[in-house]
């Protein structure tokens, strides 16, 4: 065994005695065996995946000291673990553990213990001695009842106990008075546990994928709740007391079989994120009083008229309404001047109003799978737009103003009826990906060579007969897909594409690639 003494180190090795060394470790995880550490100082967080045969004597840890033994098919926790008395975080999740030894109480400095997805039936009473434990995971251990030993963890702040078979929680749950996060999803609850009102500091509750049909009025007593996930519960009753959740900022009601937005959720003064996707909502209420709402997701519902949203939720930054039955986007869309993300995929839109140009902060616009035949010239006013998704529409042309989108990096146009591109396409100086496959293009404008940051260019399944010489100016091009066209020869300028990795030209009447291009691809 080699000895290293009084050194400042950025690496760590097996079979080494370290004496009075200082470590600054940056690697994600280390597997070390048979090393000893005497009077050492670890100045950065350190994560180990194996410490078999290692000893730590009089060492200090400025940040986290973590051992990750997850996913190793362990039948038991290795004995050496219980000698690591300075250990702060231990992850033994996703193994085949059946017993948690009493010796776990020797790890008195543990703040995090992860035992999820094992086969542990019981917890030892000695767990109560782990007075510094703040985060505990006991998910996926086949529990029919809430383990009462957990109630001994007086300083617990985060508890994962999802993916079990729980139907209730103990009446004295208030013993976990410091609990802030509770994960109860994927259990067998048929009633919302009113005992949760006894947790005064609870800020986040994950309760999705249970079988609750109605919420009790006691839910309004969770006064400090900030995040609530009730998705995938067939809830039909929301009490008016939900309006008392004054601090609630995020609410998930995905796939709850809802036909209307619950009225009790329409006056939450702090709500910023509301997800109602995968329901059966066809009509919006006449009044929505959510002054702080910034993100609304109603993907996969049955909406046709969204004018209420456009008239009343004026501070939205994200609006996702994909897979509905929306036929018209009104001029009121121009009211949402704070919008950064707009998703209207898989609807029945035939046109986009000129007021779209008023969304000066928009960064992503998703309009694929609609019935659009053209775009308004005003789309060129979206100077912050980075992603524009228009695939599978019926576009015949693009306005030349498209070239004003100089922040655009991703432009998806596959599956339209385009026969040509406007010269302005060459002004997209930050464009990284351009997909024009499955159109009717016969030629490309010479100006396309101006998009010099382009790395992916897909032109397959068109009617191209030739490529412009300017294509050789696309010096960053990595992928060029040209298959299924009518190209007879490639321009010599393509030999300048020194970064090109993939060139697809199948199903073209090209007899032979130019030698210069062959040499380029052979590299």
Q: SS in 3 state form for 355-404? A: HHHHCCCCCEEECCCCCCCCCCHHHHHCCCCCEEECCCCCCCCCCHHHHH
Residue corresponding to tokens 């709850």:
256
Q: Please, what is the average pLDDT of the chain?
A: 96
Q: Are 430 and 406 in contact (CB under 8 A)?
A: yes
Write out pLDDT tens, residues 287-299: 999 999 999 999 9
Q: d(Cα 15, Cα 292) in Å, to the nearest integer?
A: 58
Q: DSSP E strands: which ranges in 144-263?
A: 158-160, 181-183, 204-206, 227-229, 250-252
Q: d(Cα 428, Cα 401) in Å, to the nearest integer?
A: 11
Asked if pLDDT for residue 275 goes beyond 70, the answer is yes
Q: How many percent of the chain have pLDDT more than 90?
A: 96
Closest CA to 83 of 111, 51, 112, 113: 51
If you count them, how many residues does the chain have? 523
454 within domain boundaries = yes
Q: d(Cα 225, Cα 207) in Å, to the nearest integer?
A: 13
Residue 438 backbone class (left: φ over 0; alpha: ψ -120 to 50; beta: rest): left
**More reliable by pLDDT, 510 or 260:** 260
510 within domain boundaries = yes
331 within domain boundaries = no
* Cα 258 to Cα 148, 303, 333, 403, 501, distances in angstroms: 35, 12, 26, 43, 50
φ/ψ (deg, to 5) at 447: -65, -15
Q: d(Cα 45, Cα 43) in Å, to the nearest integer?
A: 7
Write out pLDDT tens, residues 19-62: 999 999 988 899 999 999 999 999 999 999 999 999 999 999 99
342 within domain boundaries = no
Asked if pLDDT for residue 518 goes beyond 90, the answer is no
Write out pLDDT tens, residues 400-442: 999 999 999 999 999 999 999 999 999 999 999 999 999 999 9
Q: Are 290 and 266 in contact (CB under 8 A)?
A: yes
Q: Are 513 and 505 in contact (CB under 8 A)?
A: yes
451 within domain boundaries = yes
Number of structural domains (the chain) is 1
Average pLDDT over residues 347-372: 98
470 within domain boundaries = yes
What is the pLDDT, as a whole number, of residue 523? 61
Range of the domain at 501: 444-522
Q: d(Cα 295, Cα 274) in Å, to the nearest integer?
A: 6
pTM: 0.93
Write out pLDDT tens, residues 470-515: 999 999 999 999 999 999 999 989 999 999 999 999 999 988 887 8
CATH of the domain at 509: 3.80.10.10
285 within domain boundaries = no
Average pLDDT over residues 353-381: 98
362 within domain boundaries = no
Q: Are 162 and 183 in contact (CB under 8 A)?
A: yes
Asked if pLDDT for residue 516 goes beyond 80, the answer is no
Closest CA to 111 of 63, 174, 172: 63
């Amino acid at each position: 065994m080699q000895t290293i003494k009084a050194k400042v180190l950025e690496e760590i090795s097996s079979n080494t005695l370290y004496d009075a060394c200082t470590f600054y470790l940056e690697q994600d995880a280390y597997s070390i065996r048979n090393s000893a550490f005497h009077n050492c100082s670890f100045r950065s967080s350190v994560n180990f995946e194996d410490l078999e045969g290692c000893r730590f004597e009089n060492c200090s840890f400025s940040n986290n000291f973590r051992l990750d033994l997850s996913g190793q098919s362990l039948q038991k926790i290795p004995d050496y673990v219980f000698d690591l008395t300075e250990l702060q975080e231990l992850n033994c999740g996703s193994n085949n553990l059946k017993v948690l030894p009493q010796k776990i109480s020797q790890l008195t400095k543990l703040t995090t213990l992860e035992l999820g997805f094992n086969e542990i039936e019981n917890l030892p009473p000695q767990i109560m001695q782990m007075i510094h434990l703040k985060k505990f995971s006991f998910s996926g251990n086949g529990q029919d009842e809430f383990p009462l030993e957990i109630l001994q963890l007086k300083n617990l702040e985060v508890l994962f106990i999802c993916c079990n078979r729980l139907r209730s929680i103990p009446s004295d749950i208030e013993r976990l008075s410091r609990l802030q996060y509770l994960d109860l999803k994927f259990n067998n609850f048929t009633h919302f546990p009113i005992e949760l009102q006894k947790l005064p500091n609870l800020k986040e509750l994950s309760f999705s994928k249970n079988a609750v049909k109605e919420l009790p009025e006691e839910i309004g007593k969770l006064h400090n709740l900030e995040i609530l996930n009730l998705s995938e519960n067939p809830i039909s009753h929301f009490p008016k007391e939900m309006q008392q959740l004054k601090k609630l900022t995020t609410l998930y009601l995905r796939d709850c079989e809802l036909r209307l937005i619950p009225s009790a959720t329409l006056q939450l003064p702090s709500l910023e994120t509301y997800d109602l996707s995968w329901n059966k909502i066809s009509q919006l209420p006449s009044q929505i009083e959510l002054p702080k709402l910034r993100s609304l997701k109603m993907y996969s519902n049955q909406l046709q008229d969204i004018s209420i949203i456009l008239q009343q939720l004026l501070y939205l930054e994200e609006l996702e309404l994909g897979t509905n039955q929306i036929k018209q986007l009104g001029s009121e869309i121009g009211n949402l001047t704070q919008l950064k993300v707009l998703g209207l995929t898989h609807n029945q839109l035939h046109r986009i109003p000129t007021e779209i140009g008023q969304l000066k902060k928009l960064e992503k616009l998703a309009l694929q799978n609609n019935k659009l035949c053209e775009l308004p010239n005003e789309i060129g006013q979206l100077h912050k737009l980075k992603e524009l998704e228009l695939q599978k529409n019926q576009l015949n042309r693009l306005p030349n103003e498209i070239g004003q989108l100089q922040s655009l990096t991703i432009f998806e146009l596959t599956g339209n009826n385009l026969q040509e591109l406007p010269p302005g396409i060459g002004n997209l100086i930050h464009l990284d990906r351009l997909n024009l496959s499955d159109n009717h293009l016969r030629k490309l404008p010479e100006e396309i060579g101006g998009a010099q940051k382009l790395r992916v260019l897909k032109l397959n399944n068109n009617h191209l007969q030739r490529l412009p010489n300017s294509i050789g100016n696309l010096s960053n091009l990595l992928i060029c897909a040209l298959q299924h066209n009518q190209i007879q020869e490639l321009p010599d300028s393509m030999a300048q594409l020194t970064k090109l990795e993939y060139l697809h030209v199948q199903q073209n009447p090209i007899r032979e690639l130019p030698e210069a291009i062959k040499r380029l691809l052979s590299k």
